[in-house]
Amino acid sequence: FPCHIHLPRMSAQGVDVVDASFALASSRLLNDTYQRDDTHWSPHGSRAVANVLGIHVSASSMQLTAAEVTTIFQGYEPHDGDLLKFIDTGVLRPIAGPEASRIARFETTVVSSGDLFNAAPVDVALVGTSFSAKSDWHFADFLQDALDAELINYAEEGRGPFAPMAAMLASETFATNPPTLVIWEVPTRYTTLEMNP
């Protein structure tokens, strides 16, 4: 789900794309979809995007191995976002701020449809940046919930979106049991370079 400026070009090349901007904007009426002091979507934003992707997949003819997925809201915790490194007030923070923001916490359980002797196939792969890799944003679990399917998360912290994709494509798992659906999270900042036709 890349930046909207590349959607027409990618669609023309046969890539199935989803513009998540409307989901983020409309969900903002209920909850902040970005963390106040962070460059990432909030968990509420993650859930909104995951739900849009779930609707998109449900409307297609794609068949995924079903899993029983349950997500429960756990409350809020203090959270320091990545933008705070630009306004480090050190020991003066209690006086000068900024005040700590809060992040929503969720817990997701996944029960696959396999049994004790036969594991159910995992049809979905998630590839992306630290955003998809870190549990803070709960994106992988929201996707499982929205798709009613288990996924394998190939995202890695600190490697961007391209190295994890290359690693997945070169993996033995991909060669022997390729996923039915690959979801690739590519932040807007990685789409500013001109794409090759």
* Residue 130 annotated as catalytic: yes
Phi and psi of 16, rounded to 5°? -75, 115
Cα–Cα separations (whole angstroms), residue 52 to 11, 57, 58, 90, 130: 17, 9, 10, 40, 21
Among 42, 46, 130, 132, the one annotated catalytic:
130
Cβ atoms 69, 106 nearer than 8 A: no
Q: What's the residue count for the chain?
A: 197
Distance between CA atoms of residues 79 and 160, nearest Å: 23
The count of other CB atoms within 10 Å of the CB of residue 107 is: 11
* Residue 32 annotated as catalytic: no
Cα–Cα separations (whole angstroms), residue 39 to 34, 65, 81: 7, 34, 8
Residues 6+ apart with CB under 8 A from 58: none
* Residue 40 annotated as catalytic: yes
Among 38, 123, 136, 145, the one annotated catalytic:
38
Among 27, 40, 44, 79, the one annotated catalytic:
40
* SS3 call for 94: helix
Distance between CA atoms of residues 80 and 83, nearest Å: 8
The count of other CB atoms within 10 Å of the CB of residue 37 is: 17
Kindly list the catalytic residues.
38, 40, 130
